Amino acid sequence: MTNSSDSNAVRIEVESLSTSFMTDHGRVQSVRDVSFAIPSGQTLALVGESGSGKSVTSLSLMGLHARTSLPEVGGRALFLRRNGQRVSLFDLPEKEFRTLRGNEMAMIFQEPMTSLNPLLTVGEQIAEATRLHLAYGRKEAWAHAQRMLDLVEIPAAARRVSEYPHELSGGMRQRVMIALAMACSPTLLIADEPTTALDVTIQAQILALIGRLQKETGMSVLFITHNLGVVAQYADNVAVMYAGKIVEMGDVRRVFAKPAHPYTQALLNCLPAMAKKANVRDGHGRLRLAAIEGQVSSPFNMPPGCAFSPRCPLADAQCDAAAPESTRLENQGGYVRCFKAQGVVA
């Protein structure tokens, strides 16, 4: 049994996660063979274009898929509990999974209004969570709610605790959702595009807040974003998803300095800083941001080989014929799924 206070302990280890749903056109495989691990106190960023399977991955780990689309989740997710016990999430009885959720594992979403209850004050919502999970009494729970609002730097917390979500700005609502998620001191926080709906200054404040809370508590973070720009600053490792699979994973600095997969290279070329470095300009002398040509294949019409091959500048007959396995990168850590990548271990 591993001790959860061990700072090198792996908080969550995901092996070959696959998730499919039933749709009007038949069963669709949204996530395939996804594997990663997040050590205690570290952040893994999951990046990729819209529809690549980032949210499905996180909702699968939280056991939060709507039953209506008959989700089927395969593979394994081993979670290290606070008490040092390692549990297999998908094998847990629903009642035990529910105890973990909101307590040791918490999630924040892009749009707080979809997860906050408009009929309860923010204080009541946070207090309810701690009464349920930590068995706090009424008074203790209310005091804790106020403390949590202070912790997420909401000004005039003593007054705000009695306000309803609609009385707060978007940035303040996102802080409330973080307070709610942090109320039971989770050891794993899943943040699914937590700042996308906010303006740039507020985005930076919210990301800094999550970073501060992570330092103070030692929690692990799975940070989902389509914006590679914020990843460099906030994540230790990055996993790049394309069409339901992780196509490249590794240390953030290595991935930014030496992206091995042509898709990662294309994503990085879309960043303004990268465009500056490449110094490609249009006819008016303005920097030209690269855009990745073509579209992601429909999950109903996946090419037989590598899913990226129809858009890949390096693709040849081998890439069209077979899907590459995830292969370890030599001397630099990390993994890539590409026949053409440099430096893979044979």
Ligand X SMILES: Nc1ncnc2c1ncn2[C@@H]1O[C@H](COP(=O)(O)OP(=O)(O)OP(=O)(O)O)[C@@H](O)[C@H]1O
Residues lying near ligand X in the complex (CB under 6 A) are found at: 21, 23, 28, 30, 48, 50-56, 66, 69, 226, 299
Residue closer to ligand X, measured from CB, 301 or 331: 301
Burial classification of residue 309, based on how many CB atoms lie within 10 Å of its CB (0-12 exposed, 13-18 middle, 19 or more buried)? buried
Q: How far is the CB of 88 from ligand X (least distance, A)?
A: 22
Residue closer to ligand X, measured from CB, 123 or 299: 299
Torsion 111-116-119-121 (CA) sign: negative
Q: How far is the CB of 69 from ligand X (least distance, A)?
A: 4
Residue closer to ligand X, measured from CB, 89 or 145: 89
Residue closer to ligand X, measured from CB, 41 or 48: 48
* C-alpha angle 248-214-238 in degrees, rounded to nearest 5: 5
Q: For residues 169 and 233, what is the distance between their CA atoms, to the nearest angstrom?
A: 26
Residue 226's identity, in one-letter code, is H
Q: How far is the CB of 52 from ligand X (least distance, A)?
A: 4
Residue closer to ligand X, measured from CB, 67 or 286: 67
Supply the Cα-derived Rg of the chain in whole angstroms: 21
Q: How far is the CB of 243 from ligand X (least distance, A)?
A: 9
Q: For residues 256 and 274, what is the distance between their CA atoms, to the nearest angstrom?
A: 10
Q: How far is the CB of 48 from ligand X (least distance, A)?
A: 5
Q: For residues 118 and 69, what is the distance between their CA atoms, to the nearest angstrom?
A: 27
Q: For residues 110 and 108, what is the distance between their CA atoms, to the nearest angstrom?
A: 7
